[in-house]
A and B are shown apart, each in its own frame.
Chain A
Amino acid sequence: MRWRNTEDSYGVVSVALHWLMGFAVVGLFGLGVYMRSLTYADAWYLPGPYIHKSAGVLLFIVLAARLAWRFVSPPPRVPLTLTPLARRSAALVHVLFYVLLFAITLSGYLISTADGRPIEVFGWFAIPATVTSIPHQADLAGSVHLILAYCVMALAAVHALAALKHQFVDRDRTLLRMLGRGGLP
């Protein structure tokens, strides 16, 4: 397997980024929902948000790197068997993923830095606060973060179902391609 994408197959970098971020996004969503249910003195009350914020910052960095990689090594063409509607909706879903994930990570940043404190990332480094004076910043950013998180999970469900449909109903090897195996029909 190559590092870079080719005309009709994904390279290692794109495949690894796809699955890493897929699991990270679902994991962060699960942790986020769980930690919101906790009350004071629960064991995860402190480490939950700490891990969520640290991993969220790393996700943002990987997201930016992934967007940059699209320009360095563009993704392969879509299968010729795709209808124009399927092409357009696939492209739209991919754009929405980027928009949503940037909006979610940035709104999360605005919650945690609303009082001017930096975000500690696993004690390795810290992201300083910048915007702190939006009225009711923590609450507003919190609502945006929550609603968009549900949106991205809905989108992920659509994305996963579409991938399964293409792999097993249309049999166009979509899922195998994302595992780095096989070219395009």
Chain B
Amino acid sequence: MSIPQRPLLILAALALAAASFGLPGSAAAEVEKYAIDAAGGHASINFRIRHLNFGWVYGRFNTFSGTFTYDTEAAKNSSIELLIQTASVDSNQAERDKHLRNKDFLNVDKFPTATFKSTAYKEGLGSSELAGDLTLNGITKPISFQVEQLGNGPDPWGKYRRAFLGTAAIPLKEFGISDFGPTARNVELTFVIEGVRQ
């Protein structure tokens, strides 16, 4: 009884496979995958922090990588993952950067990378909100970015790009990092995320 049914089973399996992979316009095709264009210098991980009661110090992490997805049908399914090399901190002052890399601050020998993984995305008309887990100095905390969609479309060289601007303020102490006095308890992050669709 079992022997004659085997070809039927195989046919059924083939038909299912064809339905799930071969047909155009299936739901999975709406999720666009992007590689962040760090190599081209069109994405950046920036920060700023107050210098006492005076100016702002702007800096960035020069070396990072990441990918994001964007679901054009259901934006809430979009996600992002970032991997930042903390030793690449650059505030345009070599001695300060050297100090920032030591154990009082970024502790880069022990924790050479920081990561951000999104957990939820809520798209609004003006600005959107991206929640996720930031791991910095070995400590993981949930943080939230205000996100602005900057633009999307074909570029002049045959690729399709999409870009966002995300801002967040994080309290340094919560990540085990010494702060810089009452005006500089928080560091403001500004991420420019431009990706090339894969």
A38 to nearest B CB, angstroms?
10
B95 touches A138 (CB 8 A): yes
Which residues of chain B are within 8 angstroms of A138 by Cβ–Cβ distance? 94-95, 97-98
A87 to nearest B CB, angstroms?
42
Partner of A115, one of B87, B93, B101, B178: B93
B58 to nearest A CB, angstroms?
15
Size category of the binding interface on chain A: 10 to 19
Which residues of chain A are within 8 angstroms of B93 by Cβ–Cβ distance? 115, 117
A114 touches B178 (CB 8 A): no
Contact digits for B152-167, partner A, Cβ 8 Å, 1 yes 0 no? 0000000000000000
Q: Is B104 an interface residue (CB 8 A)?
A: yes
Which residues of chain B are within 8 angstroms of A112 by Cβ–Cβ distance? 94-95
Q: Which residues of A contact B (CB under 8 A)?
A: 39-41, 49, 111-115, 117, 136-139, 142
Question: Which 3 A-B pairs have CB atoms at the shortest separation, nearest pair first?
Answer: A114-B94, A115-B94, A138-B98
Known contacts A40-B180, A111-B95, A115-B97; 13 additional CB pairs below 8 A are: A39-B104, A41-B180, A49-B95, A112-B94, A113-B94, A115-B93, A115-B94, A136-B87, A138-B94, A138-B95, A138-B97, A139-B87, A142-B98
